[in-house]
Amino acid sequence: MMLATAVRNLSRRSFSTSRAVAAQQLTVRDALNAALDEEMERDEKVFLLGEEVAQYDGAYKVSRGLWKKYGDKRVIDTPITEMGFAGIAVGAAMAGLRPVCEFMTFNFSMQAIDQVINSAAKTFYMSAGTVNVPIVFRGPNGAAAGVAAQHSQCFGAWYSHCPGLKVVSPYDSEDAKGLLKAAIRDPDPVVVLENEMVYGVSYPVSDQVLDKNFVLPIGKAKIMRPGKHITLVAHSKSVETAMLAAGELAGKGIEAEVINLRSLRPLDTETIFKSVQKTHHLVTVEQGWPQSGIGSEICARIMEHETFFHLDAPVWRVTGVDVPMPYAKTLEAAALPQVPDVVTAVNKVLGVK
């Protein structure tokens, strides 16, 4: 009797037709892999190089299967020398190829920052527009888990500071695929700041996202959740923190509008301004450090625009703590913005006790 009941229940679950179960799921890792595969298939000038990207299928398996499909000339394992292989990639881009240069983590891109900034970002300007550098620098950025101070920095503010670069910071699978494809097709250097913590996370995607022609525009944010009381602006994994906070706030009658920036340079100020003019309140959320951060830039843009006069309270920043990332698990959590931090910030801005 009990067995028959269990089988019936299992059968019902197996044939569930709910939206959540029926939605197509795609991990961020597979979204990035599909973007690379589709663009390499579309354009033979596109190639991938970096540490362990070929025979090992990538340190995070983002390039899985590409070496076997495209061979040694288009998926290239490099020595552990970021300055060297970033320089090779920039030179190849100047010569007309479209390299995708993977850093195992963007913390290591500091070894190659002269190539990224002085060679890639400035050449189009210094050549009076005669030399394009169509290169993509991509890899995991920001805090991972248990990798301490030297492997946990967010480079969003670092690279978005520099003219000549475009900088995107995808959150979910739709962002990852659409923005990486746009970056590869772009005529200028694009920095793609991924997040290791979401590589294995599945997100629902539409048929449009799975299409080979799906590309997202660089410089356009996405409203993840509409609201009327306060605007939450975030990028990368902080979008998740903002969404969870918005869900908690909704239970208290506070409707927060959540904006996923997607692009850090150019910054979609128009979407931010329109939202703030509607909600009259703003909280920014990011994992990076507070000084000269993305939130700081958004605050300045608001101050310099008529949107400032629509604010009913000061803008509040929720950021990572102003310290090198601790190794201890509890301290690591304390150093990163959490949902309660966002909820507290919203309550302070709205004057809710």
Yes or no: say if 146 and 159 are a contact pair by the CB < 8 Å rule: no
Per-residue pLDDT tens over the stretch 44-87: 999 999 999 999 999 999 999 999 999 999 999 999 999 999 99
Over residues 195-209, mean pLDDT = 96
Residue 82 bears catalytic tag:
yes
Q: Is the pLDDT of residue 16 over 50?
A: no
65 φ/ψ sector (left φ>0, alpha ψ -120 to 50, else beta): left
28 φ/ψ angles, rounded to the nearest 5 degrees: -60, -40
For position 353, what pLDDT does the model report?
Answer: 80
With 0-12 CB in 10 A as exposed, 13-18 as middle and 19+ as buried, what is 145? exposed
Local structure of 8: helix, strand or coil: helix
CB atoms within 10 A of CB 119: 21
For position 17, what pLDDT does the model report?
Answer: 36
Q: Is the pLDDT of residue 9 over 70?
A: no
Over residues 136-148, mean pLDDT = 94
Closest CA to 138 of 184, 73, 87, 186: 184
Write out the H or E segment, with its range, that includes residue 37. helix 28-42
Yes or no: say if 101 and 49 are a contact pair by the CB < 8 Å rule: yes
Q: Is the pLDDT of residue 346 over 50?
A: yes
For position 214, what pLDDT does the model report?
Answer: 97
Q: Is the pLDDT of residue 277 over 80?
A: yes
Mean pLDDT (the chain) is: 93
Write out the H or E segment, with its range, that includes residue 204. strand 202-205
Of 151, 280, 305, 310, which one is the catalytic site residue? 151
Of 38, 82, 102, 286, which one is the catalytic site residue? 82
Whole-structure pTM over 0.85, yes or no?
yes
Give the pLDDT band (50/70/90) at residue 127.
very high
Residue 51 bears catalytic tag:
no
Map out the domains of the chain with their CATH numbers: 24-210 (3.40.50.970), 222-350 (3.40.50.920)
The percentage of residues in the chain with a pLDDT greater than 90, rounded to a whole number, is 93
For position 309, what pLDDT does the model report?
Answer: 98
For position 7, what pLDDT does the model report?
Answer: 39
Strand partners, 136: 100, 190
Q: Is the pLDDT of residue 22 over 90?
A: no
